[in-house]
Structure 1
Amino acid sequence: MSNLQQQRSAVTHIDGNLHQNADARIGIVVARFNGFVVESLVDGAIDALLRHGVLGSNITVIRVPGAFELPLVAQRAAESDRFDAIVALGAIIRGSTPHFDFVASESAKGLSNVATDYNIPVANGVLTTDSIEQAIERAGTKAGNKGSEAAMVVLEMIAVLSQLDIDDSSDIV
């Protein structure tokens, strides 16, 4: 075995898995605006969590008026220490004014800040589309269900972070 192969085999890999999730406590923060699309995202997220072993009693759905309100409620949920991860779901569909850009940008930035400020996985499952047709496609038809995908993201992130939290100070110099 060459030195390069030896060095390659010594590399540590940390990967998330989707097993052992019964104890995961998941908050799903949902924007009611564009509910005809968003409810499919909620169904997809809940289905994915249950299929991967999360107990129904460990899933809490919190509804807010729209995508702009998601970060504040996600922050409050993170502060509560009731959840191991948060899934944010909503749909922002472009209109004829710049309102779309402001809401999409602030919602995404706010959700990202919650994750880093509170050290908790936050999946941004907020659709940002140019048309109703695109939103419908991403909520369970041609493009899959982005709510389901967001739920899978938080499960994987819980697993990754739990591996990083293992205290093995004997290796630290």
Structure 2
Amino acid sequence: MIYVVKSLFNSDITDGLYNGFIKSVEGTKIKEDLKLIDVPGAYDIPGAVARNLNNEDCELVVTLGCVIKGETDHYHYICDAVANGIMNLTLKSSKSILFGVLTCQNKSLASDRSGNDMSSNKGYELGLMVRNILLEERNENFSNH
């Protein structure tokens, strides 16, 4: 099972990332093996990963979130906490945790990385990475039909 932990905050961006991810795994067995876990914000992603990482059916985890810089230092604290939280979990786990949390200076940059152009959609890129990882681990062919 592939766990996808997705932030609901900045949902227009995170939904775009998720749609890109789904598009990259369409026509494969991966799409049948997804479990979506929604969390309120990016800060909540490491906790959700930690709670589910050791589930017996969890093969790997994909994180999807977006933090956009505002006028205060809040952005830096959230970005650091999320990145460090995921990094610490990654170092302690034998399972892959893919980091798909955008940290952008403005909404336009986030939109560029989560839009309908799959050549720049970071969710789509993560889906391709999942295919490559599982191709090695499962020894399966995930080519689209």
Any idea what SS the aligned residue of 1:91 has?
strand
Tell me the equivalent position of 2:83: 108
Shift of 1:157: 3.0
Quick one: which of 38, 54, 75 aligns to 2:14?
38
Any idea what SS the aligned residue of 2:36 has?
strand
Q: Looking at both structures, which has the greater relative contact order when contacts are Cα pairs under 8 Å and sequence separation is at least 6? A: 2
From the CA coordinates, give the structure whose radius of gyration is larger. Answer: 1
TM score, norm. by length of structure 2: 0.85
Quick one: which of 94, 105, 110 aligns to 1:135?
110
Contact 1:94–1:129 at 8 Å: present in 2 too? yes
Q: Structure 1: state its 5+ residue gaps.
A: 1-24, 164-173
Superposition pairs of residues 113-128 of structure 1, within 5 angstroms:
113-128=88-103
Identity across aligned pairs (percent)? 26
Q: Residue by residue, what CA displacement relative to the aligned partner does 1:49-106 show, whole Å, maximum 9, x if unpaired?
A: 224x234331111000000110111111111122211110011000011111111111
Quick one: which of 10, 34, 38 aligns to 1:59?
34
Runs ≥4 residues deviating over 6 A: none
Q: CA 1:104–1:160 in structure 2 vs 1: closer, same or farther (change >3 Å)?
A: farther
- Paired with 1:109 and 1:154, the residues of 2 have a C-alpha distance of 22
Contact 1:140–1:146 at 8 Å: present in 2 too? no
Tell me the equivalent position of 2:55: 80
Q: CA 1:116–1:155 in structure 2 vs 1: closer, same or farther (change >3 Å)?
A: farther
Tell me the equivalent position of 2:143: none
Tell me the equivalent position of 2:71: 96
Q: Which amino acid aligns with 2:3?
A: G
Q: Which amino acid aligns with 1:36?
A: D
Shift of 1:134: 0.4
- Paired with 1:56 and 1:125, the residues of 2 have a C-alpha distance of 18
Q: CA 1:105–1:158 in structure 2 vs 1: closer, same or farther (change >3 Å)?
A: farther
How many residue pairs align between the two structures?
A: 138
Q: Cα RMSD over matched residues?
A: 1.9
> Which deviates further from its counterpart, 37-46 or 113-122?
113-122
Contact 1:86–1:154 at 8 Å: present in 2 too? no
- Paired with 1:146 and 1:75, the residues of 2 have a C-alpha distance of 23
Shift of 1:139: 0.3
